[in-house]
A and B are shown apart, each in its own frame.
Chain A
Amino acid sequence: KAGVTQTPRYLIKTRGQQVTLSCSPISGHRSVSWYQQTPGQGLQFLFEYFSETQRNKGNFPGRFSGRQFSNSRSEMNVSTLELGDSALYLCASTWDSPRSYEQYFGPGTRLTVT
């Protein structure tokens, strides 16, 4: 079974631009979550989507948004990029059934904002 895939793997953007990251979950997984990982803050939860609906949201500004498509693929968008948005963005998918909540992570997208 193919794992979680994320594209692109690396991205360099300029302050003020916007960016869209993509995530394809493991086949059959219904939940997709996004995380931001930085050396100082660790793994911070952005949001979770289930059946095309945002089910949970972390404490990030409205510049961070996401969506999920009917095939469970998900995208996240960051508008008006700031230098502090430089991070590894991780996507994780979950089967989300009783006794099966473990998240499986993709390789991440390394975003650098200059």
Chain B
Amino acid sequence: EDQVTQSPEALRLQEGESSSLNCSYTVSGLRGLFWYRQDPGKGPEFLFTLYSAGEEKEKERLKATLTKKESFLHITAPKPEDSATYLCAVLYNFNKFYFGSGTKLNVKP
């Protein structure tokens, strides 16, 4: 069965403490993997798209990487304003999106 799994479910970091979030997938015919940030009560905000294994994208303190089975969102020296839920989604087959359940990140000052 096609599946997208995110880990950990929740992560608490001290400000400046770098870490990584994981998104593993078992879909067939992957056409793209997407990372989003969602703040409470708001719609997800697009961060990155990765299309092929080995691809990397960076934006400020965030860096996303992709292998054939998983993607990582690396957060370097996070700040309290990075606190949010991070969602990954896969696009597969004919325009089907499937979202993971998210990692809730809390960065303490």
Binding site for B on A (CB under 8 A): 4, 31, 33, 35, 42-43, 45, 48, 50, 55-56, 88, 90, 92, 96, 99, 101-108, 110
Question: How many interface contacts (CB-CB < 8 Å) are there between A and B?
Answer: 55
Describe A's contact surface by its main secondary structure.
strand
Are A101 and B43 touching (Cβ within 8 A)?
Answer: no
Are B42 and A103 touching (Cβ within 8 A)?
Answer: no
C-beta contact mask, B26-60 vs A, less than 8 Å → 1, else 0? Answer: 00000110101000011111100101000000000
* Cα A103 to Cα B34 with chains together (Å): 9
Interface size on B (CB < 8 Å)?
24
Are A107 and B46 touching (Cβ within 8 A)?
Answer: no
Centre residue among A42, A50, A106 by max chain B CB count within 10 A: A42
- Which residues of B lie under 8 Å from residue A92 when comparing CB positions? 43
Are A90 and B95 touching (Cβ within 8 A)?
Answer: no
Are B49 and A108 touching (Cβ within 8 A)?
Answer: no
Are A105 and B31 touching (Cβ within 8 A)?
Answer: no
C-beta contact mask, B2-39 vs A, less than 8 Å → 1, else 0? Answer: 00000000000000000000000000000110101000
- Which residues of A lie under 8 Å from residue B32 when comparing CB positions? 101-102
Are B98 and A45 touching (Cβ within 8 A)?
Answer: yes
